[in-house]
Structure 1
Amino acid sequence: MNFALILFVALVVTGAIWLLDVLFLRRGRDRDAKEPLLVEYAKSFFPVILVVFALRSFLVEPFKIPSGSMMPTLLVGDFILVNKFAYGIRLPVIDRKIIGVGEPQRGDVMVFRYPGDPSLDYIKRVIGVPGDIVEYRDKKLTINGKLVPAAASGTYSYVGNGLNYITATVYKERLNGANHTMMVEPDKPPVYPTQVVDFPSRDNCSYNAEGEGFVCKVPAGKYFMMGDNRDESNDSRYWGFVPDRNIVGKAFFVWMNFDDFHRIGTTIR
């Protein structure tokens, strides 16, 4: 459901009714006559819809985390806020950038429209920016020939799909001068080559047939994304790069989790 489009239509309809009444309909009513109910509703809802539309389109937008692909950073049920202007101001509904403000950086947690189906919103971490050579072999990440530092910091256990109990090793990884947590399951391969689809710029990537790893060069205007739950994430390893036009914004804050109130107020790193 395109909520931005629904808001825009509601804004246009209520605004048009209000304007029509001011310019034409009001003149034909007696001064003491009561406003038609439709006009009354339009005048009441238009300012509210306008504020919500402006805030959601240009400042912040709320999202709910539906899966565990970003654990342990983000949990299922987290309600998060996304900064809509961090990577540029875009026209609502058509999502075309009109003013450049900043560019995604390695390590950012970013919401974007899934390239395979733009009606779906995904959230992953930016691993590679345009021009980067991203290599992931034996659960070790290398960018432009430099190994990304990662230090083991414990374990994380959770119930996965099919009620399987999973225990993963947690690492503190350092990208772009900032630390974040990610986790891997030692007994799983870095990538499953048979699950890789034929995506645009597929020839920029080379996969080891045994699933030991891959290397990709990120094309201009695109980004390479991975989930922090590395072995349970459907990400750029499988469906390719995220074009700049698909960017929604930068995730920065957890404002609610009805299953765990301690999550409220968590800053996303």
Structure 2
Amino acid sequence: MNFALILFVLCVVTGILWGLDRMVFARKRPAGAPDPWWVEYGASFFPVIIVVFGLRSFVVEPFRIPSGSMIPTLLIGDFILVNKFTYGVRLPVLHDKIIPMNDPQRGDVMVFRYPADPSVDYIKRVVGLPGDTVAYQNKRLTINGVEVPLQPAEDYFHSERAYYSNRFSETLGDVQHHILNDRDARADIPTALDFPGRENCVYNREGVRCEVPVGHYLVLGDNRDQSADSRIWGFVPDANIVGKAFFIWFHADTILPPKGIDFGRIGSFR
């Protein structure tokens, strides 16, 4: 569902009703006469809808995490806020950038429209910038020939499936975060798709190595062995960027039996 398009249509319809009432029909109504139904249920909502549309399009947008690809940073059931202007101001619905600002940096948690189906929003961590050579070989990450530092951390317990994953502290640029990387999981990428720019990638039994095209980004999930990301479906074009995720504002546990609301997860993350 294209919620931005729905909001835009509602803005246009209620705005027309609001304008007609203010400029034409309100002047013809007798003093004290009740508003007609189309004003009460249409035009009166215009100020609220235009504020919501503006905030969601240019300031912050809420998202819900539907999968475990970003565990342990983000969990299923986290509700997050995404900064819509960090990477530049874009026109709503059309997504054209009208005011360039900052570029994504390594370590950013970024929301973008899935290249294979732009109607779907994905969230991953930025690993490769335009022009980088990124290799994920034998479950170790290398950027431009330099291996990304990893420090062992306490194993992570998946309560929904009752098993442990190896957890590590990883540093990308100035961002230190945790990833999951099971030593006994396979290293190769058996399900890679035929994506634009696939000729920039070399797949083998140890994993994959890619040269990131200009105007594109390579992204990975923090749950490295349970994430469909750039290793499988390719690069993220700049035109598909939605914004930078920066804050967990709510968490509702979806595990059965449900545990309820976890207020401890509310706050910023890296």
Q: TM-score per shorter chain, which class?
A: over 0.9
1:66-145 to structure 2, matched below 5 A, reads 66-145=66-145
**2: CA distance, partners of 1:135 / 1:166:** 28
**2: CA distance, partners of 1:170 / 1:80:** 23
Provide the residue aligned with 1:23 in structure 2. Answer: 23
CA apart distance, 1:159: 4.7
**2: CA distance, partners of 1:166 / 1:232:** 13
Provide the residue aligned with 2:197 in structure 1. Answer: 201
C-alpha contact (below 8 Å) 2:189/2:203 kept by paired residues: no
How many positions carry a matched residue from both structures?
Answer: 263
Q: Which sits farther off after the overlay, 151-160 or 232-241?
A: 151-160
Provide the residue aligned with 1:56 in structure 2. Answer: 56
C-alpha contact (below 8 Å) 1:256/1:263 kept by paired residues: no
Counterpart pick for 1:182 among 179, 183, 195: 179
**2: CA distance, partners of 1:44 / 1:264:** 37
Task: Give the alignment's TM-score, normalised by structure 2.
Answer: 0.94
In structure 2, the CA distance between the partners of 1:263 and 1:204, relative to structure 1 (3 Å rule), is: farther
C-alpha contact (below 8 Å) 2:220/2:227 kept by paired residues: yes
Provide the residue aligned with 1:173 in structure 2. Answer: 170
In structure 2, the CA distance between the partners of 1:190 and 1:266, relative to structure 1 (3 Å rule), is: farther
Counterpart pick for 1:228 among 222, 228, 235: 222
**Identity between Structure 1 and Structure 2 (%):** 57
Amino acid at match of 2:199: D
C-alpha contact (below 8 Å) 1:78/1:263 kept by paired residues: no
**2: CA distance, partners of 1:18 / 1:30:** 18
C-alpha contact (below 8 Å) 2:126/2:219 kept by paired residues: yes
> 1:171 is paired with a residue of what secondary structure?
strand
**2: CA distance, partners of 1:262 / 1:144:** 40
Amino acid at match of 1:121: D
CA apart distance, 1:26: 2.9
C-alpha contact (below 8 Å) 1:79/1:256 kept by paired residues: yes
Amino acid at match of 2:219: M
**2: CA distance, partners of 1:263 / 1:240:** 35
**2: CA distance, partners of 1:191 / 1:55:** 43
CA apart distance, 1:34: 2.2
> 1:216 is paired with a residue of what secondary structure?
strand
Cα displacement string for residues 140-196 of structure 1 (whole angstroms, at most 9, x for unaligned residues)? 110001111111111002156xxx433111110001122111011111123323x00
**1: CA distance, partners of 2:61 / 2:96:** 17
**1: CA distance, partners of 2:67 / 2:163:** 15
CA apart distance, 1:248: 0.6
User: Structure 2: any 5+ residue segments left out of the alignment?
Assistant: 254-260
**2: CA distance, partners of 1:22 / 1:71:** 51
Counterpart pick for 2:243 among 221, 226, 249: 249
Cα displacement string for residues 22-55 of structure 1 (whole angstroms, at most 9, x for unaligned residues)? 2222343333432212112334211111111111
CA apart distance, 1:233: 0.2
Cα displacement string for residues 211-256 of structure 1 (whole angstroms, at most 9, x for unaligned residues)? x111100000000010000000000000000001110100001010
**1: CA distance, partners of 2:164 / 2:36:** 63
